[in-house]
Structure 1
Amino acid sequence: MNGPATTETYSVQLRRLAELTARVHEQRQEARAWYDQQCAAADRAVAESADEVDRAERELVAARETQERVDAEVAVLWQELNARLGGGRRAGTPPAPAPEATGDPVTLLETVRDLLHRTRQPGELPGNVNPLLAVWGVAGAALAYALGVGARALGQHNDGDLAVGLPVLALVVTLLGPVVGLIPARMTADRRHAVLSPRPVLIVVATGLTATLLLLALPLP
């Protein structure tokens, strides 16, 4: 049989029990502290995730609004391009967004808008249309002279006011001959989306005036 525990052995056991109790308490404290730290870290992660989700949702809403504005602007610019082409030509439907495209779409649209604005600005007629302008000047003068001759002939076959007024009208129409060619010249400029600058006007008027003087120098029948 085991003998009764001595006082010394009992004291040792109590001390060991106390040490074990203290160690368990310390470990529990450490476990509780670690648990609190993990909970705090998890709460912070959840809060940060919630903020990121809110930020992502706001960015998504802003991106959708930007996309809608860009799509609307693209439709307007594409319509302007089709109108600018004219002649029954069409550029088709707007191209789809390129997945690899980079850059701010608003800036790109500003560039396109500026390009369309500059292309809408009429330029000057090129020099290769100068012969055509001269033809318009001569044709206008010839037409006015023919109308004047017809008016004078009609006046000679009438009496009274017509006999007096028609020759005067014939002279006025003939003198307008140098500028009659500006009408088809303007149509030519419009078809070429150009302005009728002083150079083509001078060509038409100069050739029209020359043709009118030569026609007036001809002996009347």
Structure 2
Amino acid sequence: MNEPVTSETYSAQIRRLAELTARVAAQRAEAHTWYDQQVAAADRAVAEATEQMRQAETEVAEASRMVERVDGEVTHLWTQLRARLGVGARRLGDPPGPVRGAAGDPVPLLRAVRDLLERTGAPGELPGSVNPLLIACGIGGALVAYALGVAARALAAGASGDLAVGLPVLALVVTLLGPVIGLAPARLLADRRHAVLTPRPMILVAVSGLVTTVLLLTVTYTR
């Protein structure tokens, strides 16, 4: 026969059952808390990964735009360099490509190259060493104008009527334009030297042409 369970043993079993139930409930709550934490951490990781992916896509797009901008600027600067060198630019070939392993922002480098091209390509003044050539331009212009005037006067000598009257006047006008005619070859000289025809060389050409014209007219009309 089964022996009756004493009240103390029954109470101990009830307490034991209550303790086990509480422990299971605590472990279940801890498991739920851990699960919720893991889910939250996974959600944060997914959100961070998504944000990083968006940032990476933005950086890739910006890098692509930068590459296109740099390539376009390099092509433009290379074209300017070829234009500066003229015939010697045939040896340059195509624009250089990117250097492997190069780092840093290319924009300041391109800006420095652009400034250098602007400084080297900007036309300057003619040096003093070309003054003899400028004087020769003035004298040559005066001689050409004087020769045209002589030809016009020679035609007037054999003409009659209005031509006999108008050609000497035309000859004088052409002769007086001698100092100005010399500016045309002076301009060509400045262009060949990639310089600007400033007032100083213009005055030099005009004065030399004017002096030559005055001397020629003096000799002509005092003979």
Rounded Cα–Cα distance in structure 2 between residues aligned with 1:89 and 1:69: 24
TM-score (norm 2): 0.79
Residue 70 of structure 2 contacts residue 106 of structure 2 at CA under 8 Å; is this kept in 1?
no
- How big is the shift at 1:52? 1.8
Rounded Cα–Cα distance in structure 1 between residues aligned with 2:188 and 2:88: 19
State the identity %. Answer: 61
Corresponding residue of 2:37:
37
Corresponding residue of 1:100:
102
Rounded Cα–Cα distance in structure 1 between residues aligned with 2:187 and 2:144: 17
Rounded Cα–Cα distance in structure 2 between residues aligned with 1:51 and 1:121: 49
Of 37-46 and 186-195, the range deviating more from structure 2: 186-195
* 2:71 paired with 1:71: yes
Gaps of 5+ in 1: none
TM-score (norm 1): 0.80
1:86 partner SS:
helix
Residue 138 of structure 2 contacts residue 209 of structure 2 at CA under 8 Å; is this kept in 1?
yes
Residue 138 of structure 2 contacts residue 181 of structure 2 at CA under 8 Å; is this kept in 1?
yes
Q: Trace 1:103-122 onto structure 2 (pairs within 5 A).
A: 103=105, 105=107, 109=110, 121-122=122-123
Corresponding residue of 1:192:
193
- How big is the shift at 1:146? 1.9
1:96 partner SS:
coil
Q: Note the aligned Cα RMSD (angstroms).
A: 3.0
Rounded Cα–Cα distance in structure 1 between residues aligned with 2:176 and 2:10: 143
Rounded Cα–Cα distance in structure 2 between residues aligned with 1:111 and 1:129: 32
- The amino acid across from 1:138 in the alignment is I
User: What does the per-residue CA deviation read over 1:82-141, in whole Å, with 9 as the maximum and x for residues that have no partner?
Assistant: 334434635533332344342363x65556556555666533222222111011011111
* 2:217 paired with 1:216: yes
Instruction: After the TM superposition, list the runs of 4 or more consecutive aligned residues in structure 1 that deviate by more than 6 angstroms.
Output: none
